[in-house]
Amino acid sequence: MVRSTVLLDLNNPEFLEEFLNLEARELRQVAKALAKIQGMDWDAVYKVSGLKWEKIDHIPSPSGHPVYSLRLSKKARALAFREGNFLRFLSLHPDHDSAYRRK
């Protein structure tokens, strides 16, 4: 069985705004996490305990897929959803707790 590697969609304006405004150290950590995710298949992504996947029921994705919070660094979490082989990022939260606030 051929496993599908994760494709990243980082094109959401809300995600990009925060990503491009990260301090250099945090930017390196987040970019390293994203590169690691992109090199994995979906089974591995779901099993990596360091990502700390958490389903966020009160925030809908544009396509109706479940939204999850995942850890990209010690400080930053992102909101994203899976659509096919894509992990589509909605937002980036350098302060961690803001990922859980209702939009």
Q: How would DSSP label each residue in 43-103?
A: HHHHH-GGG--EEETTS--TTSPPEEEEESSSS-EEEEEEETTEEEEEEEETTSGGGGS--
In a domain, 53, yes or no: yes
Question: 91 near 10, Cβ under 8 Å?
Answer: no
In a domain, 2, yes or no: no
- Note the pLDDT tens digit of each residue in 22-73: 999 999 999 999 999 999 999 999 888 889 989 998 888 988 999 999 999 9
The CATH number covering residue 29 comes to: 3.30.2310.20
Q: What is the extent of the structural domain holding 35?
A: 7-94
Q: What is the DSSP letter of 40?
A: S
Rounded to two decimals, the pTM is: 0.88
